[in-house]
Amino acid sequence: MKTILHLDMDAYFASVEQRDQPIYRGRPLMVCHTDSVEGYNGVVAAASYEARPYGVRSGMSVLEAKRLCPKGIYVPGNYHKYLHNTKEILKICQEFTDEIEVYSIDEMWLDITRTKQFFGDPGHLAHLLQERIRQDIGLSSSIGVGPNKLVAKMAGELHKPSGITVIRSDDLPGIFAPLPVGDLFGVGRQTKKHLALIGVATIGDLAEVPGDYLKEKFGVVGLYLKDAALGRNDSVLASGRSGVSNLVKSFGHSAALGGGEADIDKLCQILLGLCDGVTRRMRRDKYAGRTVVIRLRLARLFGFTRSRTVMRALELTEHVYPLARELLLVEREVLRKYPATLVGISVTNLAHGWRQLSMEDLNDDRQVRAAAVVDQIKDKYGSSIITRASLLSWKRRYHAAPVYGSSGVTG
């Protein structure tokens, strides 16, 4: 049995700014991913705990946040600074184990199976780690400990900020079962809706649904859901050379759409083409990612991003596009009123040269090989030589370009 620790920095970017600027302390502070904090573009990358009573959350558009909390302080993010802090935090973590997976700029998993004995027990180790980070870096964190990555992450969510939650396998059912199913890592809005239709409200309800039914209804995701509801998860830590150096990297393509596009089918086709471009570059550079971000700019209105993070590694269009499409379809009503003038897709939370070995990967083997062949042909004859049949029907009249940067990063 493994012992995995999940470390999550509390309101990370906002806490760093409050630490460095005393005037921000005790006040609602929003660190924004935007060109200008004077306006309404962009998204809130992090909100301080003082902003939470107003309903402001990370990932929210700046427009929405300013409506909810007009007197809050809005500042742009300084990602170099946050990355520097993350590297310092990682150094402290390395004193407790060398098996570490950096999951995002403010979250990491530590495999403490072999090293916990040197610190007494997992709870004491967690306490020492949290104190070191508080004293040396001046930041507060929340820690969850469990028998696998999933349980550790969800344990950490239970007591925030500054919490430490240790869950032993025996205690699992009693702790997770009463929680709403939406709290289960990987259950998005759409899945939650489907589950509600079959009367599943809590994680305990989900655990009782036959696996075969879930598999038929949700495919491979169904198998993940059944296991996850029971607190089972066998995904391994992606430790090693990947990690911090990749944190702010993302692969993205976007397309400017001139006067605006309101037709959801056409937007999906454009998204599919963009996904092909993004995943091709990812495969070429041997990256896989776990977060899909779509970016939309709406005519006469504002731009925003929507993202979704999954447990598995994404490297094929067949992985990325369904998630991107789902995110786009949620905005269907908005798009009807405000045509999109720009649509973009990026994949973040990257790991280099890493592929999670799971049953899904075995199923994907055929798709992986097909993608490799198409990549080879494109490398040889140019990228316009092969295109998807579904894209042929629609004449390209948009300009697609790669996007670099840290879009979609929240902390």
Of 106 and 111, which CB lies nearer to Mg ion in the complex structure?
Answer: 106
Give strand ranges (E) for 174-319.
Answer: 251-261, 287-298, 303-314
Q: Which residues pair with 304 in a beta bridge?
A: 296
Give catalytic status of residue 88 as yes or no: no
Q: Provide the token pair at 71.
A: 């007197």
Cis before 322? omega within 30: no
Q: How many residues bind Mg ion (CB under 5 A)?
A: 4
Of 106 and 331, which CB lies nearer to Mg ion in the complex structure?
Answer: 106
Name residues contacting Mg ion, limited to 96-115 (CB under 5 A).
Answer: 106
- Which letter does DSSP use for residue 202 in this model? B
Q: How far is the CB of 411 from Mg ion (least distance, A)?
A: 6
Contact stretch for Mg ion (CB under 5 A) within 6-14, 21-29, 236-244, 343-351: 6-14
Q: How far is the CB of 164 from Mg ion (least distance, A)?
A: 15
Q: How far is the CB of 152 from Mg ion (least distance, A)?
A: 14
Of 175 and 409, which CB lies nearer to Mg ion in the complex structure?
Answer: 409
Rg (CA), the chain: 22
The residue from 50, 107, 315, 331 that is catalytic is 107
Of 46 and 316, which CB lies nearer to Mg ion in the complex structure?
Answer: 46
Contact of 279 with 318, CB cutoff 8 Å:
no
Of 8 and 111, which CB lies nearer to Mg ion in the complex structure?
Answer: 8
From 4, 5, 6, 8, residue interacting with Mg ion (rule: CB under 5 A): 8
Sheet hosting strand 43-47, strand order edge to edge: 43-47, 29-33, 73-76
Element (H, E) at 346: strand 340-348
β-strands 29-33, 73-76 pairing: parallel
Helix/strand/coil for 233: coil
Contact stretch for Mg ion (CB under 5 A) within 1-9, 168-176, 216-224, 274-282: 1-9
Angle subtended at Cα 349 by Cα 343 and Cα 352, rounded to the nearest 5 degrees: 115
Q: How far is the CB of 286 from Mg ion (least distance, A)?
A: 28
C-alpha–C-alpha distance, residues 287 and 300, integer Å = 36
Q: How far is the CB of 323 from Mg ion (least distance, A)?
A: 22
Contact of 44 with 56, CB cutoff 8 Å:
yes
Name residues contacting Mg ion, limited to 10-69 (CB under 5 A).
Answer: 12
- Catalytic annotation, residues: 107
**By the criterion CB under 5 A, which residues form the site for Mg ion?**
8-9, 12, 106
